[in-house]
Structure 1
Amino acid sequence: MNDRERILTALSHVRPDKVPYDIRFTVPAREKMARYYGDPDFESKLSNCFTWLRPHLPDGRFMEVAPNIWQDEFGVRWDRHIDKDIGVVCNRLVTGDNVSDFEFPDPNDPRRYEGFDQGVAADRNTAVLVSLGFSLFERAWTLAGMENILMAMATGERWIDVLLDRILEFNLAVIENACTEKVDIFRFGDDWGHQRGVLMGPDLWRKYVKPRFAAMCRAVKGRGKFTMLHCCGKIDELFADLIECELDIFNPFQPEVMDVFDIKRTYGSMLSFYGGISIQRTLPFGTARQVRDEVRRLIDVVGEHGGYIASPSHDIPGDAKAENVAAMIEVLQNQ
């Protein structure tokens, strides 16, 4: 089997010949591992299972507008003095007064999708994944501010519906343009959780987020693609809802906030899982032997009946030990 065949087999809840895997890094971790291997191009040799495509304008995803200040295509500015990968939002663009008039970028601009055919053609041995980050709640709070969004939800202010509907309209247009014939999976990135639960609580999530997320999933499924959600935090109380929304794959499957083995037993016939390797405990603080044992157990138990893509439970952070990351890679590559 090639990696695309392994992904499609796993998503059919059948165990492939090897559990597919995907390993991603933060900037500090990537630099650390390049030094460890003595190879700045080490990532290209990992045999990851996905080809990632992103529907951003060529110069619009992030551009540096001042030292360590980066701006995305919506005009949101991110302070990267400390966090070099994403940053901290440092402006506010949308209020209840301008929510209807604020100018969104054009989701139908063909330049967003110019590299898609080339990206697909580059390697048909991997599954093709289109990734739309900041896809709903995250886009709302980056535009209007986290506190303002949560307060608007809690008090039932009308403008939050207007903003979320405008974001949904943008996303549906991106889905329509991006779900070309050779795309396998459409991924939404939208963090709703923290270490102990759902940020806005399950009731407000069901009122504001669920119906719009379901519409996005239906649009993807209507084009014959798999749906994936990246959502950090403890949101396992929402899994039944996500299944109703027609979600296929959940990531990052964090072992620090949920029992990944129990979750797989409970939902494994209805959901596939992507992640599971601890970036908060084992990779930074464990031994290489503990890492190998953890990865092997995930492969053997969570991957037993398919429905599993092995991966760290987020991009590997800079405090992960190089020897531990190397041990994880060794196990994944030598199944």
Structure 2
Amino acid sequence: MYYLFNSNKMFFLFILFFSTMISISSNSWFGCWIGLEINLLSFIPLISNSNNLLSSEASLKYFLTQSIASMNFLFSILMKMILMKNFEMNNFISIMINSSLLMKMGSTPFHFWFPNISEGLSWFNNFLLMTWQKITPLILLSYYLNFNFLYFIIIMNVMIGAIGGLNQTSLRKLMAFSSINNLGWMIFTMLISENLWMFYFMMYSFLISIMFFLFYNLNMFFINQLFINNMNFMIKLNLLINFMSLGGLPPFMGFLPKWIVINFLMINKFYLLTFIMVMSSLITIYFYIRIIYSSFMFNYFKMKWFKINFKNNLMNIINFFSLISIMGMILSTFLFL
């Protein structure tokens, strides 16, 4: 809501959306690079806040990492132009371009900045970082894929995203590692087809938007806040539904895109990759359950007077979205009949 009443933020938000359009509709690598630069320069004013030291630090870290990735990208496309006829260098240049784009979106092994920066941002900025900021690099990645390199990256993403979230107490860092895990799935959907990627991306964006909206309204940033607060039962139920859906548990909508990916993997005999991706999803579900368990099971009697409720209209919106999350899978099974 803060963005709606702040003309500066609205202006930079518009440029952020516009810069993505420049990149993905450009017909040259140089145009793509310009779009990425505009994107970077519009995102930094959105995340920097002079009152909050953490967000100022996050904006500086974000600027440095993105600048390094941009330089790498520009250097790679210039090399591509100079060494156009040299086929031996093609593989190396494609790895360079892919690496700089992976660094832009916070994929492994260039992911170290991602959880640290997410820790310093508000929930809305985190939502932008984990959804909109991934669109441009992923679409540019689809223009120049290096399959062998990306299979290795996908395995690293799903494993590090799952293992990294195990020892986190901060909800923002936990969602950042969850985003790294989902990025592995997203890159694989991009290898299969762009339509499937769009479907997976929209599902992921929808699910984390509900959760971030919940966390923002409850003003929660750490796991222990979930069991200190006596929340309304419906809020707890919504948390359960959306976390399980994000983890990819069958009755919920989040399972559908993962089901399609697993189906493709099995048909094409990628058995080891299927095993790694499913196991990593199980680990992510484990740490989601840990959060839900703490909010469901613990009640502090000293806090009985302190009840959290939303205004009715907000709660109705969240209940409606959670209903879609449950019904989505049931409705979608009719597509396969």
What TM-score comes out, normalization by structure 2 length?
A: 0.29
Normalised by the length of structure 1, the TM-score is 0.29
Larger Rg: 2
Higher RCO structure, 1 or 2 (CA under 8 Å, sep 6+): 1
Higher helix share: 2
